[in-house]
Amino acid sequence: MLPIPTEELTTLAATPLGQLALGVVGSAAWDGIKGSAAKLGSLFDRVAAQRPELNKAAADAQANEDVEAARRIAQEATEAILVMANAGTIDIQGAEITALRSVDFDHMQGVIRASDFVVRSAGMISVGGAGNATGTTHLEGGKSGSSLRTRGAGIDMGSGTSIKITGNAGIKIT
């Protein structure tokens, strides 16, 4: 069921949920995605720590090779979206991002640039840095405008507007 060698899975993701996520990604060229896969695995490991019942369900789906159960679990696990630039650059152009619980953009020591986007979450949206972040997030209205919206509040950016967030600064919308 999983195209990634089992010994690699256990070193990149500590939990069955993280390993399941890597299995989904692993059908691409394995050597080319190994670094990204490790980051994805660690993100799902965090979800597994917060939702142990999902982690157990992922282990059961793997043991039973139940593809449908694996899809349902992966969908539920992605109710929170975390975008981390680390020391690299992430460009988001014309995207629509929706999460059930939360969306978190963390520039860390890198750069996040977003333009002509819509981000929606029923819960919280967090944009910026934390800890010893030295990076930058640059949000632009672009040509058609951009929007960050939760159930309770939002920020709409018109054409030509921008917000620049550096270091540990951030915006939280609830």
Per-residue pLDDT tens digits for 37-91: 555 566 677 677 767 888 888 888 888 888 888 877 877 776 767 777 888 888 8
> How confident is the model over 10-36, as pLDDT tens digits?
555 667 776 666 555 444 434 444 454
Q: Three-class SS string for the chain?
A: CCCCCHHHHHHHCCCHHHHHHHHHHCCCCHHHHHHHHHHHHHHHHHHHHHCHHHHHHHHHHHHHCCHHHHHHHHHHHCCEEEEECCCCEEEEECCEEEECCEEEEECCCCEEEEECCEEEECCEEEEECCCCCCCEEEEECCCCCEEEEECCCEEEECCCCEEEEECCCEEEEC
Residues of the domain holding 133: 80-173
Instruction: Indicate whether 46 and 91 sit together in one domain.
Output: no
State whether 84 and 133 are in the same domain: yes
Of 55, 77, 99, the one marking the end of a domain is: 77
Do residue 147 and residue 92 come from a single domain? yes
- Does pTM surpass 0.75? no
